[in-house]
Amino acid sequence: MNKKNKYGSERVAVIGAGSWGTTLALLLAGKGCEINLWEFFPDQARALIRDRENRKFLPGVKIPDNVHITSDLEIALAGASRILFVTPSHTMRQVAGQVASTSGFHKKMIAINASKGLEEKTLCRMSEVLSQELKLPSRRIVGLLGPSHAEEVSRKMPTSIVVAGPDITILEDIQDLFMTDYFRVYTNKDLIGVELGVSLKNTIAIAAGICDGLGFGDNTKAALLTRGLAETKRLACKLGARDGTLSGLAGVGDMIVTCMSRHSRNRYVGEEIGKGRSLNDILEEMVMVAEGVKTTRAAVMLSKRAHVELPITEQVHKVLFRRKDPRRAIRDLMIRKARNEMYR
């Protein structure tokens, strides 16, 4: 059976029409799915309908006719069997609560989280937020996460990502739904590790950007990524993740792309701080959300709760929120107590 025809009767609600939400909507539409793409702002929804293009986030990428755009959640949920959440982490709870109250929502739906981050007040992962608000069985909540810049996927550049959750049958179903000749999906039952890996690395990306802004070289970046991964593993494994997950796409993979890419919002924030700009000024001018800023606060609180040392994350926190001089922060990392590399 032709893959495009196979999914012709499939309707997916995509909640969030930013760059990544639009990109995933286009991917599924290309496989023949009918897509209900929900945009929070009515004016922006009207612009998307008028232009058939997300000029704000993905200029030049056309939106096909089988992507139906709306700012009404009731319309977005109508007839859908799967809900793809692609909203910023700080709005996830509110949006999920609204979804749960719509007439089209039902307990047989599968919720797919494609957002990276931690809820700052509760320290919850996004799947935990969805579980609390949607009241779905845990097996029906999965994460679709990994190293995947929308700017590249929307132009069909080869990309690999992970779908994670407890039920292998559902994982393989979602894997098949999203797989294309340019978008490869792997399954992983370690949802905790996948969600923590893609979230905690955002802080390390800010640190990488700071190094870029200060003019440091490849040696510094290599040390930062390696030691950043080590502390990410320490915390994630203490919270129930599997070590191997952090060595995969959601760990090493996402850290590489976020710390090295010109597309990375978090790396950009760090670079501008390294050049001497204030955090407030940087965030005020940004169109997209840099999840790492809020994640840094959450990560520090999580580390204290779990009694895990996160030296790089702690220094980034001081630079972001206590105005510590970035050069001093790097120096303080370098003169820490000598340790064995395998220190856990």
From residue 109, how far is each of 39, 48, 49, 210 by CA, in Å? Answer: 20, 27, 27, 42
Under a CB-based contact definition with an 8 Å cutoff, are residues 138 and 166 in contact? yes
Structural domains of the chain in order of their starting residue, each with its CATH number: 3-189 (3.40.50.720), 193-334 (1.10.1040.10)
Mean pLDDT calculated for residue range 52-74? 95
Q: What's the rounded mean pLDDT across residues 7-26?
A: 93
Pairing of strands 159-164, 141-145: antiparallel
344: confidence class by pLDDT, cuts 50, 70, 90: low
pLDDT at 8: 66
Check: CB of residue 142 under 8 Å from CB of residue 130.
no
Q: What is the mean pLDDT of residues 142-162?
A: 97
Q: Coil, helix or strand for 263? A: coil
Mean pLDDT in the chain?
95
What pLDDT, in 10s, does the model give residues 184-224?
Answer: 999 999 999 999 999 999 999 999 999 999 999 999 999 99
Catalytic residue set: 201
Task: Please write the tens of the pLDDT for every residue from 236-295.
Answer: 999 999 999 999 999 999 999 999 988 889 999 999 999 999 998 998 888 677 788 999
Distance CA(233)–CA(246), nearest Å, equals 6
CA distance 266 to 181: 29
> CA-CA distance, 24 to 125, in Å (whole number)?
21
Q: Does the structure show a pLDDT above 70 at 130?
A: yes
* C-beta of residue 259 within 8 angstroms of C-beta of residue 204: yes
First to last CA, the chain: 50
Q: Determine the average pLDDT of the residues in 155-180.
A: 98
pTM over 0.75: yes
* Higher per-residue pLDDT: 170 or 264: 170
Q: Is pLDDT above 80 for 172?
A: yes
Amino acid 14: pLDDT: 99
In the chain, what are the helix, strand and coil shares in percent, each to the nearest 5? 55, 10, 35
C-beta contacts of 173-176 below 8 A and 24+ residues apart:
173/110, 174/82, 174/110, 174/112, 174/142, 174/144
Instruction: Give the pLDDT confidence score for residue 92 in this predicted structure.
Output: 98
| Three-state DSSP class for residue 285 | helix
Closest CA to 302 of 127, 116, 125, 113: 125
CA nearest 110: which of 164, 174, 66, 24?
174
Region 125-134: mean pLDDT is 98
pLDDT score at 292:
86
* Helices 191-214/218-238 angle, 10° precision: 150
Encode pLDDT of 1-11 as tens digits. 455 557 767 89
